[in-house]
């Protein structure tokens, strides 16, 4: 499966239309060239798989449908577009003149979608399709809109989703990196760069490992050949060669024991040295990598975080850094060492006895195969245990967080049962792992023993019978020692490739973040706001988080310095997006935003953020004291200024009620603040920053009426002498606004002063009525 239908490059659908469709098309006097855009559909309106096509000509939309086809294999995304044999099919078709189509739209279902046309007063179901074709058909809908508006057809090219080299799908189509084909070598050398400052230590580490390998070769020789064949066999020539008097075999034995002990001690020392070197380097390299990543992440535009899951991103970066260095320290150097050990050992073994070496070399791959075949199965089980653990932990967490709800509904018993269910699953997973592991060890151990026994049997056979073989007991013991020596490197090489690929993948991800270019770029030669006044002008601003779906459409508005500007609209209408553009969290796709006549793109971030401050609906409290939090935007502020800002924000009183007052630690690990308290701290922050332009994004949304009044009051201090842009649900918040706009669906639908909008009797009026009425009622109740 899978591999044999690896995809060719995506083909333009126009070129692959079946002959049956083309010949029918020619009946209406059209050819392939008349089709400007085409999309396939894959369902019929009875909800079965059936081929179909939507063809867009300059003035007509053609809809082709075939009978359901149960034999066809349906390829979804990931398998690409397949070359398949064309089948003769009966097609039925209909043509819809574009001028008749008032509106064409996609209606989203669950796992399927409908294409609906509004023709006259009727809504007509044109086609049904799975999610696979949704994107294409969305393009087609856009195309019809363009043609009907008399524009040229402009359909964006989709991003490539498959690697052109091997046909694999990119894990992330905006990354365009195929894990199968990526250049691991250049990444490797780049990672190596991180070890550069430690090259002496790194060299020492490699030397240590090489020495270890060498001494490991010596050990079997000492405890086999030397002990049995030279000393125990009372070999006089040997005594001479080491300079011991004839017959003094006890001295020789003593020397041997000393040599053996020395070998072991040196090995031990080398191991300690290795450990120390590793610890020093790894910690530093990991730290440097993380530092680089974090520095870049801080610079990146908000967009980067929108397109990735931030939490996952962070943990991934952290574990990625560990994984990379892990490979470089525990893996990389050993490639050399193990390779060398393997080679030298085999040569030495060959020197001792070629036949036995062949037997060994034949048996070792069996061991490796056992390990390669059985290990992944254990990993699957580890994965399962991990999942069981996770659901158990999240269950416990759920209960701790929701303890009050559990208790108040008296559901303790049920929660215990739910916990027990997860608990049992975890136990089963553990048992399965233990079982598997034992099984693995048994098989592996058995294979190992068979290999060793084979060598013994052959060796003893040589020893006893075959005189031509120069085989002594000591040699045999040495040989068996070497056989054991081989297993480590063999196993290492069996899995080193995966290890290397994994670590390069991690490195790739880290470098991708390090190399990411912020979408919102600071200008090279920023202009300065000499005497900031706070005039803001937006001209034809269009913006969308995704290219084809504008959230703001052609917004033009002038906000004079010193005025208060109110924005009203339903949630999701684009209000927050608009103010985010002014503070340059994003750049608009079309149009310009100017402050005092200077495009915000020409200002340095520092200059811009100094002059624009935002109090938003999600206030963030950093780890630190209350005073530090207030002074976040203005580090130089002195105590008096901080206190004054807190007073103006109406925060002073509640701060003073806390035992540690301004020195109270708040934020993630500190004291919890209520919504209103956080809001007031962030207002104090804005007051202290003293910007020319102040943005209040639902600044009073999460507080009660009384607190709102306090905040209102402080805001009225705050707005003096600055341009204020205020977004609010409650219109009472906006009663002081000089000018108001209503935003709906990304467009300004109403604009004017409070009085003007009221007279207009539109959305604003409706909202106003509704809220005053609700307020009236509230008053009656109290």
Contact positions vs another protein (CB under 8 A): 1-3, 5, 43, 45-49, 69-79, 107, 109-112, 114, 122-125, 128, 130-132, 134, 168-169, 171, 179-180, 380, 383-384, 761, 766, 769-770, 773
Shortest Cβ distance from residue 506 to another protein (Å)? Answer: 13
Please give the distance of CA 466 from its chain centroid, rounded to a whole number: 65
Closer residue to another protein (CB): 240 or 394: 394
Give residues with Cβ within 8 angstroms of 33, minimum separation 6: none
Residue with tokens 């598997």: 436
For 160, which DSSP code? P
**CA–CA separation, 485 vs 504, rounded Å?**
29
Closer residue to another protein (CB): 504 or 626: 504
Shortest Cβ distance from residue 452 to another protein (Å)? Answer: 33
Shortest Cβ distance from residue 559 to another protein (Å)? Answer: 31
- Three-state DSSP class for 43? strand
Closer residue to another protein (CB): 71 or 157: 71
544-550 CB contacts, 8 Å cutoff, 24+ apart: 544/589, 545/303, 545/306, 545/586, 547/156, 547/589, 548/138, 548/142, 548/156, 550/589, 550/746
**DSSP-derived secondary structure for 441-470:** HHHHHHHHHHHHHHHHHHHHHHHHT-TTS-
Closer residue to another protein (CB): 436 or 609: 436
- Exposed e or buried b per residue across 581-603, where buried means at least 16 C-beta atoms within 10 angstroms of its C-beta: bbbbebebeebebbbbebebbeb
Closer residue to another protein (CB): 2 or 150: 2
Of the candidates 136, 135, 100, 129, which has an alpha carbon nearest to the alpha carbon of residue 117?
100
Shortest Cβ distance from residue 265 to another protein (Å)? Answer: 47
Shortest Cβ distance from residue 77 to another protein (Å)? Answer: 5
Closer residue to another protein (CB): 756 or 769: 769
Of the candidates 81, 91, 96, which has an alpha carbon nearest to the alpha carbon of residue 13?
81
Shortest Cβ distance from residue 285 to another protein (Å)? Answer: 26
Closer residue to another protein (CB): 74 or 234: 74
Closer residue to another protein (CB): 22 or 431: 431
- Using N-to-C axis directions, what is the helix angle for 639-648 and 705-718, rounded to 10°? 130
**CA–CA separation, 298 vs 169, rounded Å?**
30
Closer residue to another protein (CB): 130 or 664: 130
Residues facing 542 on adjacent strands = 590
Shortest Cβ distance from residue 205 to another protein (Å)? Answer: 32
Shortest Cβ distance from residue 379 to another protein (Å)? Answer: 10
Using only C-alpha atoms, the chain has a radius of gyration, in whole angstroms, of 38
Tokens coding 241: 């060669």
- Three-state DSSP class for 471? coil
Shortest Cβ distance from residue 742 to another protein (Å)? Answer: 17
Closer residue to another protein (CB): 570 or 644: 570
**CA–CA separation, 693 vs 534, rounded Å?**
6
Shortest Cβ distance from residue 417 to another protein (Å)? Answer: 14
Shortest Cβ distance from residue 765 to another protein (Å)? Answer: 8
Exposure of 539 by Cβ count < 10 A (0-12 exposed, 13-18 middle, 19+ buried)? middle
Closer residue to another protein (CB): 247 or 383: 383
Shortest Cβ distance from residue 179 to another protein (Å)? Answer: 4
Q: From residue 314, how far is each of 194, 305, 310, 489 by CA, in Å?
A: 20, 11, 6, 35
Is the CB of residue 99 less than 8 Å from the CB of residue 59? yes
Pairing mode, if any, of strands 624-625 and 665-666?
A: antiparallel
Closer residue to another protein (CB): 709 or 758: 758
């Amino acid at each position: 499966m899978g591999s044999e239908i690896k995809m060719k490059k995506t083909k333009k659908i126009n070129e692959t239309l079946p002959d049956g469709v083309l010949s029918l098309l020619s009946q209406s006097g059209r050819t392939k060239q008349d089709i400007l855009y085409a999309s396939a559909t894959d369902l019929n309106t009875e909800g079965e798989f059936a081929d179909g096509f939507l063809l867009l000509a300059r003035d007509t939309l053609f809809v082709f449908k075939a009978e359901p086809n149960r034999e066809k294999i349906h390829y979804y995304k990931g398998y690409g577009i397949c070359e398949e044999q064309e089948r003769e099919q009966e097609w039925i078709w209909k043509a819809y003149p574009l001028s008749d189509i008032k509106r064409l739209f996609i209606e989203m279902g669950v796992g399927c979608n409908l294409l609906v046309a509004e023709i006259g007063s009727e809504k007509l179901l044109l086609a049904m399709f799975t999610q696979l074709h949704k994107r294409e058909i969305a393009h087609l809908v856009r195309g019809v809109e363009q043609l009907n508006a008399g524009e040229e057809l402009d359909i964006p090219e989709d991003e490539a989703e498959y690697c052109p080299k091997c046909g694999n799908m990119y894990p992330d189509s905006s990354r365009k990196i195929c894990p199968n084909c990526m250049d691991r070598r250049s990444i490797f050398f780049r990672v190596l760069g991180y070890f550069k400052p430690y090259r002496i230590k790194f060299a020492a580490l490699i030397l240590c490992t090489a020495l270890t390998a060498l001494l490991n070769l010596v050990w079997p020789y000492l405890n086999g050949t030397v002990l049995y064949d030279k000393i125990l066999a009372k070999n006089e020539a040997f005594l001479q060669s080491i300079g011991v008097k004839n017959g003094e075999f006890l001295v020789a034995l003593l020397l041997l024991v000393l040599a053996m002990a020395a070998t072991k001690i040196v090995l031990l020392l080398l191991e300690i040295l290795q450990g120390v070197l590793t610890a020093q380097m790894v910690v530093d390299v990991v730290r440097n990598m993380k530092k680089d990543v974090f520095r870049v992440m801080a610079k990146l535009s908000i967009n980067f975080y929108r397109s990735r899951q931030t939490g996952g991103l962070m943990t991934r970066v952290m574990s990625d850094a560990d994984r990379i260095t892990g490979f470089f320290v525990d893996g990389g150097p050993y490639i050399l060492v193990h390779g060398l050990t393997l080679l030298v050992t085999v040569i030495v073994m060959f020197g001792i006895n070629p036949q036995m070496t062949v037997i060994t070399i034949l048996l070792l791959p069996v061991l490796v195969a056992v390990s390669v075949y059985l290990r992944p199965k254990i990993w699957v089980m580890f994965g399962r245990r991990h999942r069981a653990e996770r659901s158990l932990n999240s269950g416990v967490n759920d209960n701790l967080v929701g303890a009050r709800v559990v208790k108040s509904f008296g559901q303790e018993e049920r929660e215990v049962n739910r916990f027990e269910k997860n608990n049992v699953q975890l136990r089963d997973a553990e048992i399965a792992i233990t079982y598997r592991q034992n099984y693995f060890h048994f098989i592996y151990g058995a294979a190992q023993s068979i290999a060793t026994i084979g060598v013994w049997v052959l060796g003893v056979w040589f020893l006893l019978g075959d005189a031509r073989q120069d085989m002594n007991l000591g040699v045999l013991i040495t040989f068996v020692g070497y056989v054991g020596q081989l297993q480590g490197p063999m196993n290492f090489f069996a899995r080193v490739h995966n290890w290397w690929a994994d670590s390069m993948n991690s490195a790739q991800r880290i470098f991708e973040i390090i190399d990411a270019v912020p979408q919102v770029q600071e200008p090279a030669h920023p202009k300065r706001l000499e005497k900031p006044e706070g005039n803001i002008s937006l001209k034809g601003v269009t913006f969308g988080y995704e290219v084809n779906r504008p959230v703001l459409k052609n917004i033009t508005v002038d906000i004079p310095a010193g005025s208060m500007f109110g924005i009203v609209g339903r949630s999701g209408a684009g209000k927050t997006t608009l103010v985010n553009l002014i503070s340059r969290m994003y750049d608009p796709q079309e149009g310009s935003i100017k402050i005092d006549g200077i495009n915000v793109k020409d200002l340095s971030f520092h200059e811009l953020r100094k002059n624009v401050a935002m109090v938003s609906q999600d206030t963030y409290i950093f780890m630190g004291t209350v005073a530090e939090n207030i002074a976040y935007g203005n580090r130089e502020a002195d105590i008096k200024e901080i206190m004054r800002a807190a007073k103006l924000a109406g925060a002073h009183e509640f701060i003073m009620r806390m035992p540690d007052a301004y020195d109270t630690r708040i934020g993630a690990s500190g004291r919890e603040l209520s919504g209103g308290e956080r809001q007031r701290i962030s207002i104090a922050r804005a007051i202290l920053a003293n910007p020319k332009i102040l943005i209040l994004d639902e600044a009073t949304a999460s507080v009660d009426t009384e607190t709102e009044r306090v905040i209102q009051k402080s805001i009225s201090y705050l707005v003096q002498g600055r341009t204020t842009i205020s977004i609010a649900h409650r219109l009472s918040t906006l009663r002081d606004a000089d000018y108001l706009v209503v935003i709906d669906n990304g467009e300004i639908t109403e604009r004017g002063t409070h009085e003007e909008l009221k007279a207009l009797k539109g959305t604003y009026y409706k909202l106003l009525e509704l809220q005053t009425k609700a307020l009236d009622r509230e008053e009656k109740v109290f």
